[in-house]
């Protein structure tokens, strides 16, 4: 907080010394991973599941499937709803009492074709497995959006009233086959953006230049990246696209010599993999700036600790080096930022976050202060047009004022 008070009167503030030393380009080459063995294993699993279903039918029984659906901590209703922007996170827990489709036994969800409302779900999962089987054999990929449109025909349109049904089915099949959703070669549409002095070379020889106006779309799978070039000294993750674009207009990438990243709200898998790649492969410090509200904190936690709905894939997605740079509730008074009361929805999310096992004293202190009111990042613009990029962010980084 002393750092904020110290520089509030400054028109601008620059990082110096080691934080912006020379703009020396760094390059790393990443070996291409041969996925032949893992593809063959997954193909065999699909064929085994299919064989079991055929055997059930031949013995005169209606088929059923089961898969693990456990989470490391409780997935609250608000988290289920607000993580819907993450195509890999749309997993409400199911029970027979809620929807009549399936039931849970010993942390397993059972899809029974004998149950009336389970038939469409069963059929869609089989359809997704068939599509994944073809893609794995040919070692090709398609987007889930493309699969959704392929299924909008007379025979299968009733299975997919909305895109969300396809996304859910892909995740259910991944649980059934005990694999990561992206390993099925059915990929979500990219939505995350990256901007700054960064060039990515993909396995298919495509080059992604992140100096493009407005930023570049983050590639689907980080494992497709075979080479990275950058002169940046850090990565800054921004919660919202509006703030991301504002920082670009203020030339934040040059002022801080950073790579700007946004997942446009709750990040998709591609954005989370990308942030982890920058942290682990390029050894860049990663800072996150989010709204001072429960959902902003939750988004930061998804980057840093992972999401409950993809707990099995935590090792591939969570980036523990992400540091919460702001906005901290403890600095709102000194900054003169106006707050608004929390809604019941906000309070429910706040309580859920405080109960998570990874919450430490520093987090809990800020969350307790948040009970008095919330604020958006845009509230910092009242001081001056470039206060966020020229004063607030460099002051916080240089002063080590992060959690």
Residue with token string 């489709």: 101
Nearest residue to 16 via CA among 279, 394, 401, 269: 394
Residue 374 has what DSSP assignment? Answer: B
Between the two ends of the chain, the Cα-to-Cα distance in Å is: 13
> Which residues lie below 8 Å from residue 393, measured CB to CB, with a gap of 6+?
236, 252, 256, 289, 325, 326
DSSP per residue, 204-256:
TS-EEETTSTT-EEPPS-GGGEEEEEE--SEEEEES-HHHHHHHHHTTHHHHT
User: Distance between CA atoms of 128 and 9, rounded to whole angstroms?
Assistant: 58
Q: Which of 394, 285, 396, 289 has the alpha carbon at shortest distance from 14?
A: 394
Residue 203 CB neighbours (<10 A): 15
Identify the CA nearest to 316 among candidates 342, 287, 280.
280
- The answer to whether the beta carbons of residues 272 and 323 sit under 8 Å apart is no
Q: How many alpha carbons lie under 13 Å from residue 263 in its C-beta half-sphere?
A: 27
The radius of gyration of the chain's CA atoms, rounded to the nearest angstrom, is: 23
Query: Is the CB of residue 395 less than 8 Å from the CB of residue 6?
Result: yes
> What are the backbone angles phi and psi of residue 88, rounded to the nearest 5°?
-95, 10
Give me the active site residues, please: 149
């Amino acid at each position: 907080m002393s750092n904020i008070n110290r520089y509030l009167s400054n028109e601008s503030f620059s990082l110096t010394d080691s934080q912006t030393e020379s703009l020396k380009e760094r390059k790393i080459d990443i070996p291409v991973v041969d996925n032949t063995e893992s593809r063959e294993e997954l193909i065999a699993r699909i064929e085994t599941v299919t064989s079991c279903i055929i055997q059930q039918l031949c013995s005169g029984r209606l088929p059923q499937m089961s898969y693990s659906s456990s989470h490391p901590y409780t997935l609250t209703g608000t988290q289920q709803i607000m993580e819907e922007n993450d195509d890999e996170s749309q997993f409400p827990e199911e029970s027979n009492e809620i929807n009549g489709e399936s039931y849970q036994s010993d942390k397993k969800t059972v899809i029974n074709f004998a149950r009336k409302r389970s038939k469409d779900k069963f059929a869609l999962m089989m359809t997704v497995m068939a599509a994944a089987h073809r893609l794995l054999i040919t070692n090709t990929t398609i987007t889930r959006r493309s699969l959704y449109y392929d299924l909008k025909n007379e025979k299968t349109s009733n299975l997919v009233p909305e895109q969300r049904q396809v996304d859910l089915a892909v995740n259910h099949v991944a649980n059934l086959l005990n694999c990561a959703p992206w390993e099925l070669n059915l990929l979500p549409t990219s939505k995350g953006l990256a901007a700054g002095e960064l060039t990515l070379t993909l396995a298919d020889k495509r080059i992604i230049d992140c100096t493009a106006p407005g930023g570049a779309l983050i590639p689907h799978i980080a494992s497709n990246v075979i080479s990275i070039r950058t002169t940046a000294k850090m990565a800054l993750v921004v919660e919202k696209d509006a703030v991301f674009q504002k920082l670009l207009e203020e030339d934040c990438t040059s002022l801080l010599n950073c790579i700007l990243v946004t997942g446009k709200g709750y990040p998709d898998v591609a954005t989370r993999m990308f942030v982890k790649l920058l942290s682990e492969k390029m050894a860049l410090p990663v800072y996150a700036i989010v709204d001072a509200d429960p959902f902003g904190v939750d988004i930061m936690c998804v980057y840093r600790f992972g999401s409950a709905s993809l707990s099995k894939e935590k090792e591939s997605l969570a980036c523990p080096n992400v540091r919460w740079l702001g906005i901290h509730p403890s600095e709102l008074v000194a900054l003169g930022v106006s707050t608004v009361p929390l809604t019941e929805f906000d309070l429910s999310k706040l309580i859920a976050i405080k109960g998570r096992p990874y919450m430490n004293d520093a987090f809990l202190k800020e969350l307790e202060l948040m009970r008095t009111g919330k604020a958006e990042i845009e509230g910092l613009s009242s001081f001056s047009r470039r206060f966020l990029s020229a004063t607030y962010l460099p002051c916080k980084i240089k002063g080590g004022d992060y959690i």
